Amino acid sequence: MSSGFFLTEKQVKCENCGGLIQIPLTTDSTVITCEFCRSVYEYNPEVHLVPKLRFEDEEKQTFEYALATGVLIGREGSSNFITIQSDLNPSLKQNICIRNPYVSRCPHLRIKMQDEISISSCGESKRVINKKKCTVEDCKSTNGTAVNDHMLKLGEPWMLKHGDRIVLAPNSQLPLAIGFEETVQNP
């Protein structure tokens, strides 16, 4: 599955011809045809692509964190290896606290989310799907953040895609990798 072009919530760019397709305001499953090249896309407004973070703890156990809103990730010395706050606790500066001396405190990185509609290929069929555009940004951390092999520059938001690995403090003795995944949620 690969994600394609996006523009706004109401329009999407045709993958074949680049023409703008209007997304109908519907609650029912429908078929959308590009008026320029007659490409056909499926659209079910109930189907969403849900972004998730995947962590691995000291015992190599993995757990997931479904991203519903943006998130702040940083160090909290007294917590467990990884602690997830359900709400942003005002006494803590981050939603996800990590006990790792190379991760910055205030916080290390931020993930922002924005609604978008994009085209996804699923086997033979193509569909227009509701998803979240997720961008990761390093928050002036001491040891930096990389996405895959790309070291983020200061103030450079980086768009995340399925299968990416966000690495905190990549050049330290204890780099921490977080997987980014998008899964289809079909209620």
Indicate the burial class of 68 (C-beta count within 10 angstroms; 0-12, 13-18, 19 or more). Answer: exposed
- The reply on whether position 14 binds Zn ion by CB under 5 A is yes
Q: Minimum CB separation from Zn ion for residue 20, in Å?
A: 9
Q: Minimum CB separation from Zn ion for residue 102, in Å?
A: 48
Among 11, 26, 31, 36, binds Zn ion (CB under 5 A): 36
- Asked whether 6 and 159 are in contact (CB, 8 A), the reply is no
- The reply on whether position 17 binds Zn ion by CB under 5 A is yes
Among 1, 37, 122, 159, binds Zn ion (CB under 5 A): 37
Q: Minimum CB separation from Zn ion for residue 19, in Å?
A: 4
**Residue nearer to Zn ion on the CB measure, 39 or 83:** 39
The C-alpha atoms of residue 80 and residue 173 are separated, in whole angstroms, by 19
Side chain identity at residue 6, one-letter code:
F
Residue 18 gets which letter from DSSP? -
Q: Which residues bind Zn ion (CB under 5 A)?
A: 14, 16-17, 19, 34, 36-37, 39
